[in-house]
Structure 1
Amino acid sequence: MPVYDYECTDCGAFEAVRRIAERDDPALCPRCGTAATRVVIGAPTVAGDSSRTQDESAGSYGMSHRGGCLCCG
């Protein structure tokens, strides 16, 4: 299963292993138990090309797999 980044407003960042279908659902902070939102990081833009935007349908799900799988590079 993929690993997603979440941010607790009180405790900070943490990772959670979740199903893709659950990636946008809040995750409970392992320290305090508060529901935390997923952190989505967009791809860097090429200098001078401000017309391009990050689109999840283009395959960027904000995830990575543990163990250096082949699909993550």
Structure 2
Amino acid sequence: MPSYSYRCRECGDTFEMNRPMAESATPAACPAGHDDTVKLLTTFGTVTRGGGPSPAPVAPPSGGGCCGGGCCG
């Protein structure tokens, strides 16, 4: 179940709630009982370590350009 972050406009408390995605827009009361809250935009990042293949190296473009096209002397 996703976790959503909220901030109470009355007391300034920031809190999280686990709730179904279908209820993500439903207003949430803060732990102090205030109803004037706003849902915060949160980010999620992941880091993977080892285990997977390395990406294939990308060859530099051939021809054209100053040093690739022979215009340097």
**With structure 1 as the length reference, what TM-score do the two structures score?**
0.49
Larger fraction in helix? 1
Larger fraction in strand? 1
- Greater relative contact order (CA < 8 Å, ≥ 6 in sequence): 1
Report which of the two structures shows the higher radius of gyration computed on alpha carbons.
Answer: 2
